[in-house]
Structure 1
Amino acid sequence: MSVLAIAHRAGNSLTGLHEANALGVDVIECDIHRHRDRLEVRHLKTAGPLPFLWDRWELVPASAPRLGLHELLEADRHGTTFMLDLKGIGAGVGTAVVRLLADRSRAQPVLVCGRNWSAVTAVAELDQVRPVLSARKPRELTALWKRVGTGGFHGASVHCTLLDRNVVERLRSHVELVMTWPVNDLSLLDRMVDIGVNGIISDEPSVLAELIRRQRA
């Protein structure tokens, strides 16, 4: 398998979707939240009763338009392979994704990932889904070994600070795809590819473009 170019959060807007497809990436990632029985595509989080969405230094009014997952899928004209990063707590978002995907016919498989493992497991029942477990912290990586060892998972997505050659080799003995993020400069790209990672998640078009160039060389 060649190293996949994965556009981080590019699916969180229709503009990002079109730009990533124009670049020629392999996979477009988007963040999926379940809010009032609706699947929304956004990285911003709700603030309970407060009338805004937030993430670190960003605030937007809660009344601002929110992209729905069904709208994103309907807007796709390129046979995109999406990676749905399931947010929140519990299996609810996963169950809602199952209902939506079961009603849609897609030729392309859908990667479903997240640190919310119960939600990922809920979606793994669908034939078109490739389940991926994510780990951001050392304790999550420790727990991940036991889960991937049981089989049934397509991949693992692990923060770049947790990876070395031995970790990647061990992961690839259990899963087909080992992804990492955030890879936003070329030196880190080289290091991650060198230790055996076969999926690069990046916010930077220049990094994705270089990876695509290497695929075609």
Structure 2
Amino acid sequence: MRALAIAHRAGNSLTGLQAANALGVDVIECDVHEYRARLEVRHLKTAGPLPFLWDRWELASASAPRLGLSELLEANRHETMFMLDLKGRRVSAGRSVAKLLHEGGHHQPVLVCGRYWPLVDSVAELPFVRPVLSARNRTELARLRQRLSSVGPTYGVSIHRSLLDKAIVAELNQHVDVLMTWPINDIASLDQMLAMGVTGIISDENVVLAELIRRQA
């Protein structure tokens, strides 16, 4: 199976969206937050009443303009598939995403992923949404394996690369259409994951995505 080239966080800005489309990736990933009844696309987190957004060593003013999910969807003239990475644990946010997609007429196939699976499930009720269940640590992976064996197949999973080996990849591939992993930011890691049988490469690095695209042309 051809592996998907997935541009990590490229959808968090219009500049990133344009660059990913120019590169010719299969999927553009973005981080979706619901904040004060608005769906925002950003990686940075809010800090409660404090006037800034943050992530590890990065800070930004909370008053800076924030890209909305509706703006991002409207700006995607190439119709490249999006992967909406839903943040938080409020199922109401999933219902808001589903409402925006349905009422806005955005009925092209879209991937919806997240580590809080009820949130993903709430959007996956739409027929054009393809659910992707994410696991970042061993506890989440164990729960995911149990769910796949008991509840049944899902469209895709997104597993941190540190959790994968050939046996796990083979097992998961029996239950999903696409097995994604991240972060794959160098060619050696790309080679390793493709050799294992991974079918979705999530990368921050254009050189890695370009190499994957070149190999599968």
Say if 2:23 is the partner of 1:23. Answer: yes
Q: Separation in 2 of the partners of 1:48 and 1:107?
A: 34
What corresponds to 2:148 in structure 1? 148
How far the C-alpha of 1:80 sits from its partner, in A, is 1.4
Structure 2: gaps spanning 5 or more residues: none
- Checking the alignment, whether the CA contact within 8 Å between 2:101 and 2:107 is kept in structure 1 is no
| Per-residue CA distance 1:38-87 (angstroms, 9 max, x = gap) | 00000000000000000011111100000000000011100110000000
Structure 1: gaps spanning 5 or more residues: none
Between the two proteins, the alignment pairs up a number of residues equal to 216
| Per-residue CA distance 1:92-135 (angstroms, 9 max, x = gap) | 22111011011133453100001021110101100110000000
What corresponds to 1:75 in structure 2? 75
User: TM-score when scaled to structure 1?
Assistant: 0.97
- Deviating more after overlay: 112-121 vs 3-12: 112-121
What corresponds to 1:171 in structure 2? 172
- Checking the alignment, whether the CA contact within 8 Å between 1:189 and 1:200 is kept in structure 2 is yes
- Checking the alignment, whether the CA contact within 8 Å between 2:31 and 2:84 is kept in structure 1 is yes
How far the C-alpha of 1:152 sits from its partner, in A, is 5.2
SS in 2 for 1:132: strand
Q: Tell me the C-alpha RMSD between the 2 structures.
A: 0.9
User: TM-score when scaled to structure 2?
Assistant: 0.97
Q: Percent identity?
A: 65
Say if 2:208 is the partner of 1:207. Answer: yes
Q: Separation in 2 of the partners of 1:52 and 1:197?
A: 38
Runs of 4+ displaced beyond 6 Å: none
- Checking the alignment, whether the CA contact within 8 Å between 2:161 and 2:182 is kept in structure 1 is yes
SS in 2 for 1:176: strand
SS in 2 for 1:2: coil
Q: Separation in 2 of the partners of 1:118 and 1:96?
A: 14
Q: Separation in 2 of the partners of 1:146 and 1:37?
A: 34
SS in 1 for 2:59: strand
SS in 1 for 2:216: helix
What corresponds to 1:114 in structure 2? 114
